Amino acid sequence: MGILILPILVLIMYFMLIRPQQQRVKAHARILAAVDVGDDIVTSGGIYGRVSELDGDTLFLQVADGFEIKITKESIAGMVNYDDAEADDLVDDE
């Protein structure tokens, strides 16, 4: 009975901690591979913007009209999908 407790605990730890982390890493890698010019993204620092140029592992992120910042691909936290109503509100009609 005591011999079975350790393998059961290892299995529980694998399915509760290790496997979900591996899935998050794979999902993040898929997001990084799919990033292209024109995509709306959010960085791990909470900055929203649109990718204006890709250069290997770095990219230029347009955060305002005429204002770009240079970031690494690894700092991307996720893609942003605006619905049509939100996208219309973000565009200035000046």
**pLDDT range class, residue 93, cuts 50, 70, 90:** very low
- Are 41 and 3 part of one and the same domain? no
Flag whether pLDDT at 85 surpasses 80.
no
Range of the domain at 10: 1-34
- Are 53 and 78 part of one and the same domain? yes
Long-range Cβ contact pairs of 83-92 (< 8 A, separation 24 or more) = 92/65
CATH code: domain of residue 81: 2.30.30.60
Neighbours of 60 (CB within 10 A): 16
Measured CA angle at 79 (ends 92, 76), to 5 deg: 105
**pLDDT range class, residue 84, cuts 50, 70, 90:** low
Overall domain count for the chain: 2
- Are 61 and 93 part of one and the same domain? yes
Flag whether pLDDT at 81 surpasses 90.
no
- Are 45 and 25 part of one and the same domain? no
> What percent of the chain is modeled with pLDDT above 90?
70
What's the average model confidence in pLDDT over 48-62? 93
Query: Is 76 within 8 Å of 33 (Cβ atoms)?
Result: no
- Are 57 and 77 part of one and the same domain? yes
d(CA 57, CA 17): 29
What's the average model confidence in pLDDT over 31-53? 93
